[in-house]
Amino acid sequence: MFAEKHELHLSGSIGISLFPTDGEDVQTLLRAADTAMYHAKEKGRGTLEFFTPELTASVRHRTSLAALLYGAQARKELSLHYQPQVDIDTGRILGAEALMRWQRPALGAISPADFIPIAEDTGLIQGLGEWALREACTQGKLWHDAGHPLTLAVNMSVRQLNDPGIVARAAQVLQETGFPARSLELEITETLLLRPTDEVLRVLQGFNHLGIGLTVDDFGIGYSSLSYLQRFPIQALKIDRTFVHRIGLSQQDDAIVAAIIALAQSLQLRILAEGVETLPQIEFLRARGCRAAQGYFYSWPVGQERFAELLSARKPIPTPATRRSLATGPAPGAAS
């Protein structure tokens, strides 16, 4: 398609309803097709989806969660959990990833996989993301003052990175909490960097000027040019858990992980593996030069009180050398 002299590439999400199975009048068929279209968007856009009765229940559940999420922060239903990021050689906790959790009295714990996409679609993620940043920096300052100068990683959404005021607000949070910028890392998804805009580039450069570290999360799933690693001010790569889980299953899987580690080393970027669960995974990563990891092998994400206990423990988190005699899996005492 051309508009004046510009070539435009369009895509669409399509919802399909059928007469008379899904309705016998125009309005009913349109509602069913609209429901199917939103489901197609959820599956990644650029797809089509046929209406099924199950989709209606799914949409109603999503709508209900969205309504509840609007007041969740004010009702103090949201909290942050922290998953340790550990030095593989020494077992020392280097830092933690701050992860948002939602506990609804009537529903119990609601999975981030359910409410984070809703927050993204509704725009609530901007306010919730800023709340998470402030909470993490406030808690991080307390841990620093207690003698634990760890690094905290906070996820940054696409909507936040497209907000030109986000850098100024991050600077304000750091100033008000007293948490040092050098101890804060913002995790951004690789897929965002594959479709960069000038505005996103300015935002990332702004974070870099503040001294905040930038980590590419879920690295390896982009299937595109890696030139962005030189264009953007990136300091670290995080190996996606899907690759870590496949370590030892085939030579090809092992080669991919080894190549990611070698790439990070050649570009002088820090490398961290997420989703580690077994001793063989840890030993494979260590043998190839990956020195930091997080996952159930060490600890589940835990509340701030439990994380403080891990920081204050006299014994470090077990290393591969001390774990070889134990069964693989979650570390003893890890939260379940």
- Confidence (pLDDT) at 225: 55
Q: Is residue 333 part of a domain?
A: no
pLDDT score recorded for residue 6: 54
Mean pLDDT of 317-328: 59
Sign of the alpha-carbon dihedral angle for 260, 261, 262, 266: positive
How far apart are alpha carbons 203 and 186 in whole angstroms?
12
Same-domain status, 32 and 131: no
Are 101 and 26 in contact by the 8 Å Cβ rule? The answer is no
Q: Which two tokens stand for residue 75?
A: 């009702």
Average pLDDT, integer, range 101-130: 89
Q: In this structure, is residue 57 part of a structural domain?
A: no
Dist. CA 215–CA 92, nearest whole Å: 20
Verify that 45 and 83 share a domain, yes or no. Answer: no
**Owning domain of residue 313:** 74-323
Per mean pLDDT, which range of 146-150, 211-215, 313-317 is the poorest?
313-317
Q: Please state, in angstroms and as integers, the Cα–Cα distance from residue 163 to each residue in 125, 202, 207, 240, following that order.
A: 12, 11, 13, 26
Residue 69 covered by a domain: no
For the cut 90, the answer to whether the pLDDT of residue 118 exceeds it is no
Q: Read off the CATH number of the domain in which 301 is found.
A: 3.20.20.450
Query: Higher confidence at residue 172 or residue 23?
Result: 172
Instruction: Name residue, tokens 């508009």.
Output: 3
pLDDT at 192: 73
Do residues 18 and 106 both lie within one domain?
A: no
In this structure, is the dihedral angle defined by the CA atoms of residues 190, 203, 115 and 302, taken in order, positive or negative?
positive
Claim to verify: residue 16 and residue 124 sit in the same structural domain: no
For residue range 71-108, list pLDDT tens digits in order: 888 899 999 999 999 999 999 999 999 999 999 887 78
Model pTM score: 0.80
Residues 170, 226 share a domain: yes
Average pLDDT value for residue range 98-123: 88
* Count: domains in the chain: 2
123 and 244 inside one domain: yes
Residues 98 and 231 in one domain: yes
Same domain as 19, residue 153: no
**278 within domain boundaries:** yes
Question: Do 95 and 16 share a structural domain?
Answer: no
